[in-house]
Chains A and B, each alone.
Chain A
Amino acid sequence: MTTDSRSNTRTAWFFILPAVIIMAAACLYPVVSAVRLGFFDWSMGTPWAQAKWAGWTSFEIVFTDPAMWRSLLTTLKFAAVSVSAEMFLGIALALALEGNIRGMAFFRTLFILPMMVAPIAVGLTWRYLFDAQFGLINAVLGVLGVAAKGWLADETLAFAAIIISDIWQWTPFVFIMVIAGLANVDNSVLEAARIDGARWWTLTTRVKLPMIAHVLAITLVMRLIDAFRVLEVIYVLTFGGPGDSTEVLSLHIYKTAFIGQKLGAASAISVLLLVVVMVLTWLALRMSNPLADSEKDK
């Protein structure tokens, strides 16, 4: 690189400016606006200039609204259940199936399918599968002698349905991450432990898992972040129903804004969701420290 720091800076900006402009205009600005909107009283369709300053009103309304708290609780429950299930299953399966198995690449290809298919297709397919009358799930249960259930009409079962579809979609992700992490484990350490007499359980819990703790942590946080952001699958699968038993925060925001037309309230809830997601993202950044590899001298 040239030693002339001024042309250095100019060149750098040449490379990054286009991206920065677009991200600032079409991503950062909307996010800032979302926060700002929370302080105004504005209805869609009226000119923005007519919006009245409302101070903390929207926030007060939102934080005293039981529907919002229900939605928050639903989201927390959803995140907790689905992510723990996915982590547990993903790790267990990775531990059980790791190693040099011929054809693993083929299986891995099949495993990423759930993640690649459009979320809307995922939601619609599971909606069909969970249908009370002609869904495959009930048919399989019938074969096993279990009574058919009205999955999407019952609050608890609908919640189970969104959890199941999320587990289906994302456990492979956890599996792939953990397998990749395990593949990088230094075998000599494992050998040494084995020679010292470690049996499988000790080997796994005391040696292997700690060695991939970093990958596990990153995967966990990434899944948590995405669990809080989930929207499209639930939109199509239950649309928050029955009632609002599956109305996670993203969906609640969407409904408040585009159906309830209450943009100030929607923005206030958005701030809440943003805070949660940003905190988690910050956590993820601290853990993976993406700039560590190239700390440059100023």
Chain B
Amino acid sequence: MNDQRALLALRYVALTLLAILCVGPILVMALTSFKTQAQTFTTGLSFFFAPTMENYRDVIFDSSFGRYLVNSLIVGIVATLITLLLGCMAAYGLARFSFSGRKTIAYTTLMLRTVPLAVIAVPVFMIWSDWKLTNSLTGLILLYVAVNLPFTIWLLYGFVLQVPVELEEAAAIDGCRPWKIFLRIVLPLIRPGLAAAAIFTFRIAWNEFILALVLTDRSTRTLPVAASLFVTDIGVEWGKLMALATLIALPPLAFTFLAARQVISGLTAGAVKG
């Protein structure tokens, strides 16, 4: 069966090549962060060089970095928590109850999922100005929650449906109120869905750039916006930029390696019927 073996080897080679392609640019980003300014300007394939920590030093000990980091963390964590809470409640309400307006709400929610951020950037800026929410973390969090709820609700909806109704009905017969049923029975069983939704929401809130650009000022700025500021008309400080970019990439990278299964199940949910 030499053919089989050769084919298998070929597959591994192909997979490895693809993996290198996928990881390559990210590696370049990380490697460049360890280069001095001069080194970043050397042409081409310079993989071997004396690494320096000066970029990270400059970035991390810059007076504003701590603030940007805290802003990003607050926005990311709070937005994720609120989205999860409201999202799983709404998913449960849509999945287990029938009431007039259910279909309208469901379809509107789903349609809101794909609104281009450029489209709402302008009216949001206008409305948030009226509500005095510009340049505040609250305003940004509110927006992120609203924008992430559609996907989260849709994702958790599928998971709620997989919980056997009999469990809930049994509890109801025993006199359990709906909130308790939701809390004690449904929530624990949709934990994988919650994990996937948490990862996706945090990733979006953490990585998001354009809305944060519009809605924050120097004191409420998040990390991605700070990164974009390294690109000036005078020139780009690639080393520092890549250091910041690498730092920004760390949480999503961590999620990827720790929870790849959840991410993939979130991606394929609903499209691939079991």
Contacts and interface: CB of A to CB of B under 8 A. Distances in A.
A288 B270 contact: yes
B203 A116 contact: yes
Given A9-B99, A34-B119, A143-B45, A290 B245 contact: no
Given A125-B29, A258-B214, A290 B260 contact: no
A250 interface: yes
A138 B181 CA distance: 61
The SS class assigned to the A binding surface is helix
Nearest to B120: A30
B242 A128 contact: yes
Nearest to A142: B44
A182 B22 CA distance: 22
Given A23-B146, A129-B28, A28 B108 contact: yes
Contacts of A193: none
Max count, chain B CB within 10 A of own CB: residue among A44, A251, A253, A290: A290
B70 interface: no
B227 A124 contact: yes
A274 interface: yes
B46 to A, nearest CB: 9
A54 interface: no
Contacts of B127: 29-30, 33
A118 B212 CA distance: 13
B92 to A, nearest CB: 5
B106 A291 contact: yes
Given A108-B260, A177-B267, A118 B224 contact: yes
A8 B274 contact: no
B45 A229 contact: no
A277 B146 CA distance: 18
A199 interface: no
A18 B45 contact: no
Max count, chain B CB within 10 A of own CB: residue among A22, A140, A173: A22
A286 to B, nearest CB: 11
A10 B110 CA distance: 23
B94 to A, nearest CB: 6
B114 A225 contact: yes
Contact of B122 (A11, A28, A34, A117): A34
B264 A228 contact: no
Contacts of B209: 118-120, 232, 235
Given A1-B172, A15-B93, A231 B111 contact: no
A290 B273 contact: no
A296 interface: yes
Interface residues of A, number: 110
A128 B249 CA distance: 16
B69 interface: no
A31 B242 contact: no
Nearest to A296: B98
B115 interface: yes
A37 B89 contact: no
Contacts of A249: 118
A117 B25 CA distance: 11
A261 to B, nearest CB: 11
B116 A274 contact: yes
Interface string A83-95: 0000000000100
A267 interface: yes
A196 interface: no
Given A1-B169, A173-B267, A139 B97 contact: no
Contacts of B12: 101
A204 interface: no
A52 interface: no
A109 interface: yes
A31 B124 CA distance: 9
A208 to B, nearest CB: 14
A90 B100 CA distance: 42
A289 to B, nearest CB: 10
Contact of A172 (B22, B102, B178): B22
Contact of B118 (A37, A96, A270): A270
Interface stretch (B59-67, B149-157, B187-195): B149-157
Nearest to B12: A101
Contacts of B234: none
A96 B97 contact: no
Contacts of A143: 45
Interface in B37-57: 40-45
The 10 A-B pairs at the shortest CB distance, nearest first, are namely A139-B44, A15-B93, A26-B146, A12-B97, A19-B90, A118-B207, A33-B123, A16-B93, A250-B118, A296-B98
Given A16-B90, A114-B22, 9 more contacts: A11-B97, A15-B93, A97-B15, A107-B18, A113-B253, A120-B245, A124-B241, A168-B21, A282-B111
